[in-house]
Amino acid sequence: MEEKKLINGRLIIVSGDITRMTCDAIVNAANSSLMGGGGVDGAIHRAGGPGILKECKEIRKNRYPDGLPTGEAVATGAGNLPAHHVIHTVGPVWHGGNSGESEKLSRCYRRSLEEAAKLKLKSIAFPAISTGIYGYPKENAARIAYNAVYNFLDSADLPQTVYFVFYSPGDAALFMDVMDLR
Ligand code: AR6
């Protein structure tokens, strides 16, 4: 799929492996333990090496002994990855939609963007948080992700560029369909 640009070119939709992205930060769809897992979380820790886990353990010890709450985000280095930072966030598990899932998912995007802005980062790449193992319906998640990024960029100069990285071309196409952009 060719890349599509939205929001004055500041949001770019691509498909591929987020661990290969060369931008300032990639976002990890982690769990509250911050100790790694499956999906994109496993891929990031595997490709980035043990340095990321070491920093996550420090964060757990010093700042979040009970785990990173859902919707919160923290930054670490990126080890061997081409990106410079990993921003770890914890998406909501889908429980049917009446358990505050949309607010929590929206908060993941906003808090990750705030962390990127705090670090003065120019570019950040998001996976489709919660839409894998956590079971969030992809169509709903697409709208929430887009709105959260749109609202943030509306009043922020940094990050300049946001990437949505869909693991499969089909998921990228679904996003474009949901947003009525094809
Ligand atoms: N690059 C980009 N996107 C990817 C990649 C990749 N390398 N690998 C998977 N995806 P998931 P969640 C997509 O399950 O639903 C973990 O065990 C995938 O196709 O990774 O938030 C954590 O430790 C999907 O669209 O994250 C947590 O326990 C999206 O990334 C739990 O899973 C998110 O799928 C988090 O579940």
CA atoms of 6 and 13, how far apart (whole Å): 8
pLDDT tens string 50-70:
999 999 999 999 999 999 999
Q: Ligand 1 pocket: which residues have CB below 6 Å?
A: 17-19, 29-31, 37-41, 43, 91, 127-134, 165, 167, 171
Banded pLDDT at 3 (limits 50, 70, 90): confident
Ligand 1: which of 31, 40, 60 to mutate, judged by most atoms within 8 Å of the beta carbon? 40
Spell out a b/e string for 69-96, using b for 16 or more CB atoms within 10 Å of the CB, else e: ebbbbbbbebbebebbbbbbbbbbebee
Give the pLDDT mean for 165-179.
96
SS3 sequence, 79-132? CCCCCCEEEEEECCCCCCCCCCHHHHHHHHHHHHHHHHHHCCCCEEEECCCCCC
Closest residue by Cα to residue 26 from 107, 87, 113: 87
Mean pLDDT of the chain: 97
Give CATH for domain 3-178.
3.40.220.10
Ligand 1: which of 26, 81, 167, 168 to mutate, judged by most atoms within 8 Å of the beta carbon? 167
Residue 7 has pLDDT above 90, yes or no: yes
Q: What is the pLDDT of residue 27?
A: 99
Specify the residue with its C-alpha closest to ligand 1, atom 8. Answer: 40
Collect all residues with Cβ–Cβ distance below 8 Å to 65 and sequence separation of at least 6. none
Q: What is the pLDDT of residue 95?
A: 98
The number of the ligand 1 atom at minimal distance from the alpha carbon of 18 is: 1
Residue 182 has pLDDT above 70, yes or no: no
Q: What is the pLDDT of residue 180?
A: 79
Are the CB atoms for 6 and 162 separated by under 8 Å?
no
pLDDT tens string 81-126:
999 999 999 999 999 999 999 999 999 999 999 999 999 999 999 9
CA atoms of 51 and 166, how far apart (whole Å): 25
Banded pLDDT at 1 (limits 50, 70, 90): low
Residue 35 has pLDDT above 90, yes or no: yes
Find the 39 Cα to ligand 1 centroid distance in Å: 4
DSSP, res 68: P
Q: What pTM did the predictor assign?
A: 0.98
